[in-house]
Amino acid sequence: MPVTQAREIAAASRLDNVRYAIRDLNSVAEAVTRQGHKVLPLNLGDPLSFDFETPAHIIEAVYKAMRDGKNGYAPSPGIPEALEAIRGEAARKGITNIQDVFVTSGASEAVDACLTALLNPGDDLLTPCPDYPLYSAVLSKLGIKPNLYFLNEEDGWQPELDNMRRRITPRTRGIVLINPNNPTGSVCSRSMLEQIADIAREHNLIIFADEIYDKLILDERDQHVSIAAIAPDVPVVTLGGMSKNYLVPGWRIGWGVVSGDAAVVKPYIDGVQRLLRARLCANHPEQYAIKAALEGPQDHLIEVRRKLAARRDLTVKSCNSTPHMSCVPPRGAFYAFPRIEIPEGDDVFVKELLLQKYVLVVHGSGFGQKPGTQHFRIVFLPDEATLTRAYASMRDFMANRYGA
């Protein structure tokens, strides 16, 4: 008789702190939908769920690659045409002293590989608070506790440099900088970037510059500046990808550009490349879209930024006119991070807003926030009519639940 296995197979304890707030409420939203209600989704940053379209010439580049038989394995770092185009894009951003370029399955895989190649047990990494949950998830997987530095809401969500300095320990290895930031939509000033670079120099830290939204700057007076461009001597991994700027999140194409002194970064690059070889390669035919995207027409960005700026303005106006709510205007990407002054948790707020008004947002505690403050994240990708309905429902909910 076969022996029946009675003991459950437990997940590793290092996964206990892995959360992904952006999708945490999906099961509740599905239940609301099954009851016959239409949910207004302001939770997921997928432009193709709304009135945005992938540029045709990018699709054609992938279609041609597939027709031409580019459907087997690619070189582990990426195809030469893509690597050359990424180097050219980095140069246009002012990045010099480039030591390596590699293509990954979305910027998410680049983050995973880059952190895994750097951190040993007991090390720590400075990450912003609030931040994108992927970073804390990868650190949890590695058994490393995030070392959080605060972003200052009163200063347009710029990093708090004094707080950053105080958080550095003898085991701190690097700094994560998300610019433009998800979830706040903030964009770092040049002066701020120069001061962060000084901190990295002083403490021999590598900087991970997540710039996945670098082309989605919402005001013409603003300009995105890459920290690698103003600090060519500092080890920097600049992370980018096609998902947001080129409206292809499902293709999962990202990349990393390593810059800095060659002798300093060479051992680290060797580690990253070992990991990339172990996973074989990123999606092959989609890599042929990289050159087409970076070197081809950029016309779609004009309309994308126009739509996003108008929707940003509507969002900020609605939030700042709603009781118990305030919002720092985002300057990049398509997220806002309003503050709420309420007598219960932000997780309760977002769940009840969904159950009562069928508006789906993400609780701020899922991204991290200063103690004593509460927020939620809005994705303002939907058209203005949809946003107007959502914000009217939100205003009614706030007034009815917490008072006018």
Q: State which H helix or E strand residue 391 sits in.
A: helix 384-402
Single-letter amino acid code for the residue at 44: L
pLDDT digits (tens, 9 = 90+) for 60-72: 999 999 999 999 9
Report the distance separating Cα 48 and Cα 45, nearest Å.
9
The Cβ of residue 83 has, within 10 Å, a number of other Cβ atoms equal to 21
Of 50, 52, 45, nearest to 302 (Cα)?
A: 52
Task: Catalogue all structural domains in the chain, each as residue range(s) with its CATH number.
Answer: 13-52+299-402 (3.90.1150.10), 70-295 (3.40.640.10)
Pull the structure tokens for residue 277.
């070889």
Give this prediction's pTM.
0.94
Q: Provide the β-strand partners of residue 254.
A: 104, 241
Pull the structure tokens for residue 219.
């005001």
Of 386, 402, 250, nearest to 314 (Cα)?
A: 386
Q: What string of pLDDT tens digits covers the 404 residues of the chain?
A: 566 666 787 888 777 767 666 666 778 888 888 999 899 999 989 999 999 999 999 999 999 999 999 999 999 999 999 999 999 999 999 999 999 999 999 999 999 999 999 999 999 999 999 999 999 999 999 999 889 999 999 999 999 999 999 999 999 999 999 999 999 999 999 999 999 999 999 999 999 999 999 999 999 888 999 999 999 999 999 999 999 999 999 999 999 999 999 999 999 999 999 999 999 999 999 999 999 999 999 999 999 999 999 999 999 999 999 999 999 999 999 999 999 999 999 999 999 999 999 999 999 999 999 999 999 999 999 999 999 999 999 999 999 998 87
The Cβ of residue 93 has, within 10 Å, a number of other Cβ atoms equal to 17
The Cβ of residue 172 has, within 10 Å, a number of other Cβ atoms equal to 16
Phi, psi torsion values for 279, nearest 5 degrees: -95, 10
Please state the separation of Cα 145 from the chain's center in Å.
19
3-state SS assignment for residue 344? coil
Single-letter amino acid code for the residue at 32: V
Of 328, 397, 312, nearest to 360 (Cα)?
A: 397
pLDDT digits (tens, 9 = 90+) for 135-181: 999 999 999 988 999 999 999 999 999 999 999 999 999 999 999 99
DSSP 122-165: T-EEEEEES--HHHHHHHHHTT---EEEEEEGGGTTEE-HHHHH
- Residue 299, CA atoms < 13 Å, CB-side half-sphere: 6
**Strand pairing report for 335-336 and 359-360:** unpaired
